Chain A
Amino acid sequence: PPQTPIRAAMTSIQQLRGELISTGDQPSTNLDKYFKNCTVDPTQDVLKRLETLEQTFSQRFGQAVGPRCVILGKQRFTLGVRLYYKVMEEMLKSEEKRLSVQNFSKLLNDSTFHTSLMACALEVVMATYGESSFKTGGYNPGGDDPAEADVCFPWILDVFRLSAFDFYKVIESFIKAEPTLSKDIVKHLETCENLIMERIAWRTGSPLFELLKQEHEGGAAEQVETPAMCY
């Protein structure tokens, strides 16, 4: 039978759900080991943060899609959490191999890291359901059809008050850690990257300007200290 857009979307959804069936709603034994290896165990903060993010996300999803869709938002979030845990574990495994380190306390106690990773997982889930795409993306507040509602990127950044700059940091590692992502989803994440690079990261208030200023000042200070070096 011909691969219609609806059938393609259904296939992607079934593939995503199939991938995440074995991943529970809680950290796996391996991931728990990484948490326990930390100087400061991040487990309680991770669970509390997820509760808060779920509340925020499902409320905002209901506002964008329709009041009866708050439950849909919770379902998306549940899938997102499984993907978040799965990808985090894979990221830590490859960092452990790369750095020969098992204590990731600083990273796993960084709220921005977790929020960015969770936002990316939700972006993948919504893109799979066709809710976040760069084709339709029409602004339709209150409309009950999720596919038409404005939950398209960068909506998720506003929901979690996340800077595009920080969200950008997890994208490549996310794709590397989850090789089963479909071609369309990888392309979607790459479009998010391009949008950030070309526009969003340069908006007023972006942390990028402060970082560039620090970098510039740091560079200028070096030049003053060692003028002879520059010859």
Chain B
Amino acid sequence: SHNYHFGLEDHEGISELFDCD
């Protein structure tokens, strides 16, 4: 696939991005 640059670290995910961690 298109070499998309994944920037999130292992300890980051959708929960952290929406302050639900």
List the interface of chain A (C-beta within 8 A of B): 91, 94-95, 98-99, 101, 104, 106-107, 110, 112-113, 169-170, 172-173, 175-176, 179, 181-184, 186-187, 189-190
Contacts and interface: CB of A to CB of B under 8 A. Distances in A.
B1 A186 contact: yes
A179 B18 CA distance: 22
Contacts of A190: 2, 4-5
Q: Which 10 A-B pairs have the closest CB atoms?
A: A106-B20, A107-B20, A169-B17, A186-B2, A183-B2, A173-B14, A187-B2, A113-B18, A186-B4, A183-B1
**Chain A contact residues, majority secondary structure:** helix
Contacts of B17: 169-170, 173
Given A169-B18, A181-B1, A186-B4, 13 more contacts: A95-B14, A95-B15, A104-B15, A110-B18, A113-B14, A169-B14, A169-B17, A170-B17, A172-B7, A173-B8, A173-B17, A183-B1, A190-B4
A116 B2 CA distance: 23
Contacts of A170: 14, 17
Contact of B18 (A112, A176, A187, A189): A112
A2 B8 CA distance: 39
Given A187-B2, A190-B2, A173 B13 contact: yes
A98 B13 contact: yes
Nearest to A91: B14
A179 B1 contact: yes
Given A183-B2, A186-B2, A172 B18 contact: no
Contact of A107 (B6, B7, B15): B15
A99 B15 CA distance: 9
B20 A104 contact: yes
Given A95-B13, A170-B14, A110 B20 contact: yes
A230 B2 CA distance: 44
Contacts of B8: 172-173
Nearest to B8: A172
